Amino acid sequence: MDDRNDHGPESSGSGSHTGQSQSGTRTRIGLDVGTSKVVAARGDSVSPQTEAQLNAFFDVPYSALHEQSLKANRTPFYREDDRLIVYGDASEKFAHIFNANVRRPMAKGILNPSEPLATHVLETVLSTLVPVSRNPGELLAFSVPAPASETGHELTYHEETIKRYLKGRGYTPLAVNEGLAVVLAELAKEGFTGIGISCGGGMCNVAVSYLSIPSLTVSLGQGGDYIDEAVGAVVNEPATRVKAIKEETLDLTRDGGDKIDKALHIYYDKLIESLVDEFGRAVHRTQKLPRNDQPMPIVLAGGTSKPNGFRDRFEKALRRRSWPFQIGEVRMASDPLTATARGALVAALAER
């Protein structure tokens, strides 16, 4: 049974899932379809409006009382057989109440193969951010990861599923590599030349761009979720609780305090080392690196890169190794959570 409804809070941007765009004018959208969050950007490239929705859900057994309660609280949900599926931002609140973990329609950057409700929930989450297009064929650029060498994940199914859904909403979808999207959002002044790195929930994506050409794309199938789960396992706490602590209090410039804090430091370092190693291997393998004498600036984005001190640790790990190009400034994106979506928007706006 597909008993989706739209009782969720109205999103702050245009339209939301009511299917109405803000006006009759062309509204291109940049979409970051991340494992942890889906972020949409629209408007112009200088001051885009962005909105986000947690890409997660939580199911509770169906009962009339539960359903009434969810409706009364304007919680977004739909009914699936004998379960009520609470999706988006609200799902995390429910997970906290039940001291359990949310479920994810995506894992490691693509549709979660072990989650039977994956496609359904992802489409529902997308519907909260992508209104039905008023201009059929309007461009919508969405982020896709680079194939992860260590998992060998096939991206076609994931990408085509999203494309078909977006076409059904009246858009012409345009896939943009996630790392490149960071470059498009943050390195315009550098002529879109540099390295964009997006550290998300499910994976980390890197793109080496030369004048907007992605000459090398790399991904690592580990991200914030990996840290949450690994830390949760060693300190015997639910990953959802670890995630909350990580987002609220973690500071990588200070020595780890309690057990969770120390474990977070350890797994952050491990993630950074793995990412730099993976990037180094890819650089070593490729024949496509630009012959550019100028130092390559590096921009970090994504929720996993947000903790204070991440940039410093990453830069140290990077500079400990030798590279066949000069490393320039390593900086954080102006808004790490929305950089990918904003970059996708730039790509959507640039297309004729």
Partner 1 sequence: MTAIATGSPTERYRRERPPVSPECGEELARITDDIEDPVVKLRYLQSVLHQEGEKHDLVQLVPIPPARRAWYRLKGLKALDAVADAQEAVGDRTRAARKTARRVVVGTTAAALLFVPFLVAVIAWQVDKWSSAEPAPIASSVGSSTEANATSVASVTESLAQQALTPEPEAETPVTRYPVAEALAEEDLGIVPSLIWLADRGPGWELYSNGLRIETAYTVKGTPRDYRVHSRDGKLLPMRHTRPIGILFHTSESDLWPLEPDYEKEVRKGSEALLRFVKREQAYNYLIDRFGRVYRVVDDDSRANHAGHGVWARGNEVYLDLNSAFLGVSFESRWEGGRTLPITRAQLIAGRNLTHYLRQRYSIAPEMCVTHGLASVAPKRGLIGYHLDWARGFPFEAFGLPDQYSQPSPSVALFGFNYDNAFLRAVGERWPGLIAAEKQLADEARERAISLDDLRRERQAEYRRWRAALPTPDERSLEAPQTADNRG
Q: Which residues bind partner 1 (CB under 8 A)?
A: 44-45, 141, 144, 173-177, 180-181, 184, 188, 191-193, 210-217, 280, 283-284, 286-295, 312, 315, 321-324, 326-330, 346-347, 349-352
CA angle 286, 287, 288 (to 5 degrees): 95
Q: C-beta of 198: minimal distance to partner 1 in Å?
A: 14
Q: What pairs with residue 330 in β-bridges?
A: 298
Q: Which two tokens stand for residue 236?
A: 């015997």
Residue 209 CB, nearest approach to partner 1 (Å) = 9
Cα–Cα dist 122/223, whole Å: 19
Of the candidates 178, 176, 216, 218, the residue with the CA atom closest to the CA atom of residue 200: 178
Contact present, 173 and 142 (Cβ < 8 Å): yes
Judged by beta carbon, residue 100 or residue 289, the one nearer partner 1 is 289
Residue 111 or residue 296: which is nearer to partner 1 going by CB?
296
Residue with Cβ nearer partner 1 (19 or 280) = 280
256 vs 280, beta carbon nearer partner 1: 280
Q: Decide whether 86 or 181 has the Cβ nearer to partner 1.
A: 181
Measured between alpha carbons, how far is 154 from 110 in angstroms, rounded to an integer?
Answer: 9
Q: Which is nearer to partner 1, 103 or 163 (CB)?
A: 163
Q: In terms of residues, how long is the chain?
A: 352
3-state secondary structure of 101: coil
How near is the Cβ of 276 to partner 1 at its closest, in Å? 12
Contact 256, 241 (CB under 8 A): no
Q: How many CB atoms lie within 10 A of CB 14?
A: 17
User: β-strands 204-210, 213-220: how paired?
Assistant: antiparallel
Q: How far is the CB of 45 from partner 1 (least distance, A)?
A: 5
Q: Which pair of structure tokens corresponds to residue 83?
A: 């379960």
The nearer residue to partner 1, 135 or 292, going by C-beta atoms, is 292
Single out the residue of 212, 181, 205, 167 nearest to residue 305, CA to CA.
Answer: 205
**Min. distance of Cβ 214 from partner 1 in angstroms?**
6
When the beta carbons of 258 and 329 are compared against partner 1, the nearer one is 329
Nearer to partner 1, 138 or 315 (CB): 315
Q: How far is the CB of 52 from partner 1 (least distance, A)?
A: 22
Read off the amino acid at residue 195.
I
Residue 342 and residue 302 in contact, taking contact as beta carbons nearer than 8 Å: no
State the minimum distance, in angstroms, from the CB of residue 288 to partner 1: 5
In the complex, least distance from residue 295 CB atom to partner 1, rounded to whole angstroms: 4
Q: How far is the CB of 256 from partner 1 (least distance, A)?
A: 21
| CA atoms of 327 and 318, how far apart (whole Å) | 9
Distance of CA 240 to the CA centre of its chain: 17
SS3 of 79-120 = EECCEEEEECHHHHHHHHHCCCCCECCEECCEECCCCCCHHH
Token duo for residue 46: 């200088």
